[in-house]
Amino acid sequence: MARPLRIQYPGAVYHITNRGNERKAIFGDDNDRQRFLEILARSVDTYQVIMHGFVLMSNHYHLLAETPLGNLAEFMRYFNITYTSYFNRCHNRVGHLFQGRYKSVLIDKESYLAAVSKYIHLNPVKVSDLLSKPAAEKLRLLYAYQWSSLPGFANTKMRNKWVEYGVVLREFGGDNPAGRKEYRRQIEADVIKGIPMKEKLIGQSILGDPPFVAWVEENFLQSGKDREQPSIGMVHSYLAKEKILAQIAAATQKSVDEVVHGKGEIRQIVMDLLYRLGGMKNREIGEMLGIDYSTVSLNRKRLNEKRKKDKQLDLVISAVENNLSKKKI
């Protein structure tokens, strides 16, 4: 059987799933689940991904993610490797944790984002020993299940800061009491009737209305190139290195040469933005700056910590990010 296509482009939305190797558990306890979410939050921040929802099950997980930079592969590679390394280290094991590569279904955001959100949130009660339970009990279990983004759609106090709830809730009236109530009402209805999804998939890889599917085919599947990575020129729409450096120079009132050869926070900003927005690897950035790749990684982490505490630094970086968002190639 041919492997499902990997379709990447800026702004793409995906339903992502990954299962444990041999269907074995990918969590030993709640500490692992908490660490999983911490790594996911860091990965979302590093790769500028918008997370619309998630559910953790015993041997697999579901994510509903949007990639403004068209960098799904990089995001998932970092996330899966980082969690696998953690899990193997803590449980004294070696080898693969996940069963092959993750599955990603490209979603028509306008037509199917809300439906997929509800679909993944129902997973905790779709296990065999809960299928025969009354709907009321299933609902109670769903909202008590802490390893899901669903509680945050009902109660703002239960939210994760790195999850975007508002976009899904727009379809239900907005991120307000009425919209959250309507989302809960539809979850209740779907617990009873279910949400058929698999039969709507196109080629195991696309979920969307005919115009969306036609747009994907025209732009990504008719190039005659490698069907595993169609239309590569459109897939990785990163910003040019020169534009990133120019914007950093403007924001810090330095010349590009001073930015490249500077020290301290400016140099760290260069490393971080070239990595996140320029698609450059740590090794490539290190070669450009004349330092070891591990130093690049360390400095990016330090900058991230500084940014959380230093409002002025955060404003400078945010200004650069906002300006660059208008200058994509």
Distances (CA, A) of 64 to 115, 167, 285, 291: 11, 12, 30, 37
Q: Tell me: do 118 and 200 sit in the same domain.
A: yes
Check if the beta carbon of residue 4 is closer than 8 Å to that of residue 204. Answer: yes
Of 195, 213, 231, at which residue does a domain stop?
A: 213
| Assigned domain for 182 exists | yes
Q: Tell me: do 317 and 169 sit in the same domain.
A: no
- The domain of 245 spans 241-325
pLDDT the model gives residue 242: 82
In sequence order, what are the residues at sequence separation of 6 or more whose Cβ sits closer than 8 angstroms to the Cβ of residue 308?
Answer: 314
Q: Tell me: do 187 and 292 sit in the same domain.
A: no
Closest CA to 187 of 222, 150, 213, 235: 150
Q: What confidence tens digit (pLDDT) does each residue in 135-189 have?
A: 888 888 999 999 999 999 999 999 999 999 999 999 999 999 999 999 999 999 9
pLDDT the model gives residue 134: 79
Stretches in the chain below the pLDDT threshold 70: 1-5, 128, 199, 203, 222-239, 325-329
| Assigned domain for 280 exists | yes
| Assigned domain for 28 exists | yes
CATH of the domain at 256: 1.10.1750.10
Q: Tell me: do 146 and 293 sit in the same domain.
A: no
pLDDT the model gives residue 228: 44
| Assigned domain for 185 exists | yes
Burial class (CB in 10 A: 0-12, 13-18, 19+), 317: buried
Of 193, 213, 233, at which residue does a domain stop?
A: 213
| Assigned domain for 89 exists | yes
Q: Tell me: do 33 and 175 sit in the same domain.
A: yes
- The pTM score is 0.69
CATH of the domain at 28: 3.30.70.1290
Count, residues in the chain: 329
| Assigned domain for 235 exists | no
Check if the beta carbon of residue 14 is closer than 8 Å to that of residue 104. Answer: yes
Q: What confidence tens digit (pLDDT) does each residue in 265-307 have?
A: 899 999 988 887 777 778 889 888 888 888 998 999 899 888 8
Of 213, 230, 260, at which residue does a domain stop?
A: 213
pLDDT the model gives residue 200: 75
DSSP tag of 158: G
Q: Tell me: do 115 and 185 sit in the same domain.
A: yes
Q: Tell me: do 27 and 135 sit in the same domain.
A: yes
Q: Tell me: do 31 and 145 sit in the same domain.
A: yes
Q: Tell me: do 138 and 249 sit in the same domain.
A: no
Q: Tell me: do 29 and 92 sit in the same domain.
A: yes
Q: Tell me: do 106 and 195 sit in the same domain.
A: yes
| Assigned domain for 226 exists | no
Q: Which residue type, as a one-letter code, is found at position 92?
A: N
Closest CA to 21 of 116, 76, 102: 102
Number of domains in the chain: 2
Q: Tell me: do 203 and 273 sit in the same domain.
A: no
pLDDT the model gives residue 26: 95
| Assigned domain for 233 exists | no
